Structure 1
Amino acid sequence: MRNIAIIPARSGSKGLKNKNIRLLNGKPLISYTIEAAQKSGLFDEIFVSTDSIEYAKIAQEFGASVPFLRNKELATDNISSWDVVKDALLNYKKLGKEFDTVALLQPTSPLRKHYDIINGYDQMRRKNANAVVAVCEVDHSPLWCNTLPEDESLQNFIKEELIKSPRQLLPKYYRINGALYIVKTNYLMSTENIYSEKCFALVMAKENSIDIDDEMDFIIAEALMRSNLN
């Protein structure tokens, strides 16, 4: 089975400038994802999809492949990661390289470990899955969440039967953490929705699941890296 890891890293992040190559604990953010993919030992190709020559050089310094740059049309805010992945697979096919699975690894998940990737592929084999997507337990139950009216009244904000329920008795909820998506390539190229038949979850630890989007996330990630939690 031939596997490719695709790490999408376009330039021009609106939230944090050059977020994907910003130094985190002394190394470019993207390097942690490249190294996790390398350490897993699962990939025939580790490809960084970027529209930036600067990003490409940094990715190559850490051992990733960048045989072509992403088209500018695919480097805008309204393009999904799956559009980028499908385009990359088609470009690799033109180069004579085809793959059985693709792992989408977001560079904004630097605390994802190599064993998380290995566990994802193990889950795919166990379940004979078309797709495996990483999730983690949510910090706060959505049962304690609601919208607010214009007058900000909390009347009926929480269902009456939940008011006296101990937190420990509430059902566990999970969220997609963005750290890992593994999909069979034939399935991916034939669907617009991977969350259907034979798509399964990989439950990851919360401390491995941080998704860096703003300055506070950077601070938390650095703190976790320096602690015994990660």
Structure 2
Amino acid sequence: MSSVAIIPARGGSKRIPRKNLKPFDGVPMIVRSIRTALDSNLFDEVIVSTDDEEIADVARANGAQVPFMRPASLADDFTGTSAVIVHALNELQAFDYACCIYATAPLLQARYLRHGRELLEQHPDKSFAFSVSSFGFAVQRALVLDAQGALTSLYPEFRNTRSQDLAEAFQDAGQFYWGRSEAWLRGDVMFSPASLPVILPRHLVQDIDTPQDWKRAEYLYAALRAGGELQ
């Protein structure tokens, strides 16, 4: 079965300007995702989808391919990931599997990428397998602020339920999304029973959208490397 890794990396990041090229532990952030994908030996090709020539040059210099430039219509603040993957698949030769890997995933590990592919191979009735992690608290006991700035229960029906009696909930870990190519192209729904979970420990997960996220990712990365847990 053939597989392609597709790394979306547009040039117009707002909250962390040029974050895909910003140095993380000495190398541009996107290079970490490229290297992990290449070193995993899971992919026939590692592709970067970008609208930015500088990102394209860095990607090529580090072993990825950039066989096309992403059109501006798919590089704005509102375009979803699925549309970018569909565009890439339509530009490429046919692959059985396509794995979207985010450019800002410095804690990504090849063993979890491998597990995601294995899950899809073992469950031919499923469309996707992607990284998730459990919430560190019972989401049913979440609090919100009302119009007066006071606290109120988001789910009042669970206000008096013990947290240990509530179902465990998971969040998208924002690292990778394996899918059958035909599922991507059909537009199958990712967050649905068509998907399987690759469950990551919470300490290996950090979405990077703000400068505070970036700092926390640096701390986690340094601790994991010192502890020998990065593989």
TM-score for the superposition, normalised by structure 2: 0.89
- Give runs of aligned pairs for residues 12-161 of structure 1, distance below 5 A: 12-92=12-92, 97-128=93-124, 129-154=126-151, 159=156
Q: Which amino acid aligns with 2:95?
A: F
Q: Which amino acid aligns with 2:141?
A: W
Distance 1:161 1:12 in 2: 41
Distance 2:74 2:43 in 1: 24
CA 1:196–1:53 in structure 2 vs 1: closer, same or farther (change >3 Å)? same
CA drift at 1:152: 2.9
Whether contact under 8 Å (2:143, 2:151) holds in the other structure is no
Whether contact under 8 Å (2:20, 2:28) holds in the other structure is yes
Residue identity over aligned pairs, in percent, reads 28
- CA RMSD in angstroms, aligned pairs only: 2.0
Q: Which amino acid aligns with 1:15?
A: R
CA 1:149–1:111 in structure 2 vs 1: closer, same or farther (change >3 Å)? same
Cross-structure match for 2:194: 198
CA 1:153–1:220 in structure 2 vs 1: closer, same or farther (change >3 Å)? closer
Whether contact under 8 Å (1:36, 1:114) holds in the other structure is yes
Q: Which amino acid aligns with 2:130?
A: V
CA 1:164–1:19 in structure 2 vs 1: closer, same or farther (change >3 Å)? same
Q: Which runs of 5+ in 1 are unaligned?
A: none
Task: Give SS of 1:226's match.
Answer: helix
CA drift at 1:114: 0.8
CA drift at 1:28: 0.8
Whether contact under 8 Å (1:111, 1:207) holds in the other structure is no
Distance 2:215 2:6 in 1: 26
CA 1:154–1:52 in structure 2 vs 1: closer, same or farther (change >3 Å)? closer
Q: How many residues align?
A: 225
Whether contact under 8 Å (1:108, 1:213) holds in the other structure is no
Distance 2:153 2:119 in 1: 41
Range 209-218 or range 139-148, more displaced? 139-148
CA drift at 1:195: 3.5
Task: Give SS of 1:19's match.
Answer: coil
**Alignment partner of 1:185 is 2:181:** yes
CA drift at 1:189: 1.0
Distance 2:139 2:193 in 1: 26
Whether contact under 8 Å (2:49, 2:66) holds in the other structure is yes
Q: Which amino acid aligns with 1:117?
A: L
Distance 2:190 2:158 in 1: 35
CA 1:157–1:20 in structure 2 vs 1: closer, same or farther (change >3 Å)? closer
CA drift at 1:20: 0.6
Q: Deviations over 1:28-48 (max 9, x none)?
A: 110111111112111011000
Range 188-197 or range 43-52, more displaced? 188-197
CA drift at 1:197: 4.9
Whether contact under 8 Å (1:134, 1:180) holds in the other structure is yes
Whether contact under 8 Å (1:47, 1:66) holds in the other structure is yes
TM-score for the superposition, normalised by structure 1: 0.90
Distance 1:58 1:216 in 2: 25
Q: Deviations over 1:9-44 (max 9, x none)?
A: 000101111001100111111011111111211101
